[in-house]
Amino acid sequence: MPEFFIPVAALAATTPQEFVKEFYEWYFTKDYDFSDALKQDKILKYVDNDLVAYLKKIQDSHEVNYFTQMGSQCSGLENASVHVGDALPMADNVFVVPVTVKKEKLKNIVIVYVQKEGEKFKISSISDIYSY
């Protein structure tokens, strides 16, 4: 069986939308709850280091899963469908990407802020769509 060399760069997401979709597909395939997700080494591939450190600090005092903006105990989103909208380009290589998560009767929209540094993307912030 021949083995083919696939450069890592060829596998990396090239747009903020691809990157965000990859993150949520990973997240929902594993069906992590909030605290489990924060323990995974791979979270640092997707989420800004300082943000992960801060989320670890506040995880016990918050009832909302920052990544889904749903209840932190809300599970059962395994293999939920992830629809990614267009990206809004902002200053300093930040992109704002709306994401719709759906599974059966559950539906939620989050607004994901993605920072591009060199060829890599990292999630720097996530918001719900509700008023302040």
Partner 1 sequence: MKKFIFVCMLLAMSLPASAHAQDDAAFVQNFYKWYIAASLPADKTPAFDAAIEKYVCKNTAQRVRLDYERAVVDADYYLKRQDVGKEQLDNLIVGKPLAVNASLSLVPVSMSEKKEYSPDLVVYVEKENGGMCISKVESSPGPNFRGDAY
Q: Residue 41 CB, nearest distance to partner 1 (Å)? A: 21
CA distance 116 to 126: 15
CA distance 6 to 31: 28
Binding site for partner 1 (CB under 8 A): 48, 51, 54, 64, 85-92, 94, 96, 98, 109, 111, 113, 124-125, 127-132
Q: Residue 5 CB, nearest distance to partner 1 (Å)? A: 37
**Choice between 31 and 111, CB closer to partner 1:** 111
Q: Residue 8 CB, nearest distance to partner 1 (Å)? A: 27
Distant-in-sequence, close-in-space partners of 101: CB < 8 Å, separation ≥ 6:
24, 28, 68, 77, 80, 81, 82, 107, 108, 109, 110
